[in-house]
Amino acid sequence: MGRKRTCELPFCKGVVEGTRNKRRCDKDRNIHLHQVISKNVKKIMKYLESCEDFTANDVNRDLFKARLDKNEKGSMYRLFQAMVREGYLLERGKRGGLKVYSYSGTSAVQPEIHDEPEKPAPGKPERTRLSPEEVLLGKLREFVHLRSGQWNHDDWTWLVNRPDIREFGISEADIGRIVEDEKARYWLQRNSF
């Protein structure tokens, strides 16, 4: 085990353990930062606060000159998800298949679509706002996929106690039913290839 240190994220009071290249925060099992990301958290946060909106590829291009490998990009994505859970970032939909984020301190209410409506590209449907049920389903589906269709009791406890899941007011039994349906769908899809 590597030496213990406090988490690099200003909003987290956890202790980080792990190797030189990979570190995991004990307060949030999903925060698993590679060295290049953990060393640059303050630089990344400063960049995020200066952007109107951004994707992970924008950060990779502008801060790291597109040098991050897929594992380091995944680490940065987990960092963004932790920031969303803490209210530091907001999700703004998708652009080019990638999640678009914005700094939550830019304005209290920021419209998802700008005042001048962009003309949709031919053949592309207009974006629609997701219902709360679709948002919850997306979060539960993400949980199943991030854990490759397998999880233990600690993972389950972490999921049902996440504030962004609890805010939907759905019972643990209903969450369990949805997650098991998504797990079955995940394995069916994985085994069909």
pLDDT value at residue 31: 59
54-80 mean pLDDT: 84
163-169 mean pLDDT: 87
89: enclosing H helix or E strand:
strand 89-95
One-letter amino acid for residue 48 of the chain: L
pLDDT value at residue 85: 79
pLDDT tens digit string along 42-62?
888 888 888 888 888 888 888
With a cut of 60, say whether residue 150 has pLDDT above it. Answer: yes
Whole-angstrom distance between the N-terminal and C-terminal Cα of the chain? 38
Picking from 54, 115, 62, the residue whose alpha carbon sits closest to that of residue 90 is 54
pLDDT value at residue 180: 92
Rounded (10°) CA dihedral 49, 14, 32, 187: -110
pLDDT value at residue 193: 61
pLDDT value at residue 167: 87
pLDDT value at residue 86: 77
* Total residues belonging to the chain: 193
pLDDT value at residue 112: 43
When pLDDT is cut at 50, 70 and 90, the band that residue 126 belongs to is low
Specify the DSSP class assigned to residue 161: T
76-83 mean pLDDT: 81
State what percent of residues in the chain have pLDDT above 70: 72
Alpha-helical segments (H) within 14-146: 35-38, 41-50, 56-64, 70-85, 132-146
Picking from 98, 190, 80, 78, the residue whose alpha carbon sits closest to that of residue 143 is 78
pLDDT tens digit string along 90-112?
888 888 788 888 888 744 333 44
**Three-state DSSP state, 151:** coil
C-beta atoms surrounding 91 within 10 Å: 16
